[in-house]
Structure 1
């Protein structure tokens, strides 16, 4: 299930560097259309969430996830058709953002069912926190693997073929989900068609806002960096984050992880102003990956421990929504306001990180300590 999650997420993250390259260099779209196409994905992930609980109780939960992924595959097929040059540019202005919204909706529903239901149901009760933590790390690694895969494939294949590869990865994810048996579970006597269950945790709203601020900066970085070295070093940073959780923060004060993570991201941004190319190319993305890895892992645990009984899946979905919405918003801001203006992107990133750190130290952490349930 974790590998299925990885393949699904990689297929979506391949599109982050692919779409701007194709839309600007090949199709002649403006950076504004690119910004809308990348940003609207973050709105799409919210669109079906309120129906998630109804769908997984009304129908078999694994089939809901599979059908959502199949919609994603079809959307990649339509995008492949457009990239082959079968649609005029004026139609593309409408079609590409519409397809991206549908992709966000399908991906959001698939991920919410996968993380909030399927992965939890396949784990013993005492292993569910560990299962959520491990699965989230697979998604986090996809943030570097997806764009890196595009970088390696782009000299060999054109954009349409790489989009087809995204669809194939989704298909492999479906095969893995089909290989797992899920016992039948009788639905509740009363099923609400629209609800926040498995969708959004209202008591986690401040964690949601604080995490979104951090992930906006991730989106800004992804809007400005398109090199193999950056994503390799970003992955190295993720690995360092995993090791630090195991050896550095085992007995550390609770708030130290988030503070350290934000400070690492700030240091990464500040290195751009040193003018040292080696530091910018090699050290900056490692610090950034390590910082966001530490923050992401800690905030997921915050969401899980904030949830009440039977709200584990809802807290997982809320974390996912904050992560994806922030990245999409950062990509939108990066391409809409700061296209090819790297110094201002980093300046804005520094200001947002300062706000996120100030919010966490003065309010969010104390609020979490007062309201956590575990």
Structure 2
């Protein structure tokens, strides 16, 4: 099968699925709202150097991998929704720590404390997202609807990638960083309430589940796809480290909506390869515009191209991971995609602040080179995928 369009089942969009999808959106919002605002606070109020900010932002990406190997054990030995709820509560609690520091007007935070806070936030956010996407969302769907459920729920967190930073920048400008932090905590709190509103029947735990395993954590035979996705998101993270414009993220949302429509009408029966290639070409074009042009239209078109490209790439890579998974590995494929997406952004942000702070041209050129490398690599990755897919 060289093309694929995800079917639409109206019965998928029942109350429980809506609650889980919105919870997924709010959980992502609670983290993305800090992407452009936290580094600015650390620089201006806490007087950390750009290198230290880069390390702190990158620590989030490392934390994402910390608890993944325990996900299978946790959801088998404890109520899966309870595991997710406590992980989301921990996301909120760690953000409250930053609010406390800001309200106490500490002139200088300990650098190690900020790094540990970011690392821990990445760990609990990764755990919450893995349980939510690999288990809870799947459990609210019929077996024949699960690919569509994964595809649709991922769009909600993708929307948060534009709406989160845009909201954070807007709130920071109008009301201050304290309100940004309270908004992040509020998003996490509402996500907890939504998860609690869904009933998940009790399942007897399996006795032979190891404490540490790759189940629901990482798909080893998807590693080439994982590397290719990380290259792309690394470039996106570097781009985000120099973009502090509300309009940029607003136009990204326009691009996301265009990508969503194009998948339904333009790429419906197109070659699978066409979406990722088209997405990368759009993002390369966006970077070329940012590097070589200064007209006002560029600051509207370039972020729309980035959103359009990211929407196409994210949807296609997710479906590729699902197609690579073997029996009972759907949840593992979800977590692998999540790790590649989120850690790439975190490490890109870290590199952007540590190496390119104050030099947007070098950051744009580096992102451009990474996108070109990812495009060349994808031509080999796609052929490998076609040979190894299982669905």
Q: TM-score, normalization: structure 1?
A: 0.98
Q: Does the C-alpha gap of structure 1 residues 365 and 276 become closer, same or farther in structure 2, counting only changes over 3 Å?
A: same
Alpha-carbon offset, residue 157 of structure 1:
2.1
Deviation string 1:329-350 (CA, Å, 9 cap, x unpaired) is 1101110000011111111111
Equivalent residue runs for 1:1-374 within 5 Å: 1-85=20-104, 87=106, 89=108, 91-361=109-379, 363-374=380-391
Deviation at 1:274, TM superposition (A): 2.8
1:84 CA displacement: 2.0
* Secondary structure of 1:205's aligned partner: helix
TM-superposed CA distance for 1:49, in Å, is 0.2
In 1, the alpha carbon distance for the partners of 2:201 and 2:185 equals: 28
Q: CA deviation at 1:86?
A: 5.2
Check whether the contact 1:13–1:146 (CA below 8 A) recurs between aligned residues.
yes
Distance 1:225 1:213 in 2: 19
CA contact (8 A) 1:19 1:34 kept: no
Q: Deviations over 1:169-188 (max 9, x none)?
A: 10000000000000111111
Three-state SS of the structure 1 residue aligned to 2:217 is coil
CA separation in 2, counterparts of 1:161 and 1:229?
20
Aligned partners of 1:133 and 1:18: how far apart in 2? 29
Distance 2:318 2:264 in 1: 16
Q: Name structure 1 gaps, 5 residues minimum.
A: none
Give secondary structure in 1 for the equivalent of 2:272.
coil
Deviation at 1:88, TM superposition (A): 5.4
* Paired position in structure 1 for 2:7: none
SS in 1 for 2:173: coil
TM-score relative to the length of structure 2? 0.93
Q: Tell me if structure 1 keeps the 8 A contact 2:33–2:164.
A: yes
How many angstroms apart in 2 are the aligned matches of 1:36 and 1:18? Answer: 16
Residue deviations 1:190-221, cap 9 Å, x none?
A: 12000000000001000000000001111011
Query: 1:250 is paired with a residue of what secondary structure?
Result: coil
Secondary structure of the structure 2 residue equivalent to 1:156:
helix
**1:56-96 deviation digits (Å, cap 9, x = unpaired):** 0000000000011111111011111112245452x421111
Once the two structures are superposed, residues 341-364 of structure 1 have per-residue CA deviations (whole angstroms, 9 ceiling, x without a partner) of 111111111111111111111x20
- Mapped to 2, the partners of 1:85 and 1:92 lie a distance apart of 14
- The range that moved more, 161-170 or 334-343, is 161-170
Distance in 1 (CA, whole Å) between partners of 2:187 and 2:285 is 35
Separation in structure 2 between the aligned mates of residue 346 and residue 67 of structure 1, nearest angstrom: 39
Shift of 1:280: 2.5
Q: Render the CA deviation track for 1:245-265: whole Å, top value 9, x for unaligned.
A: 011111111211111010000
Alignment match, 2:4: none
Aligned Cα root-mean-square deviation (Å): 1.0
Q: Which 10-residue stretch deviates more, 134-143 or 149-158?
A: 149-158
SS of 2:35's partner is helix
CA distance in 1, matches of 2:208, 2:293: 62
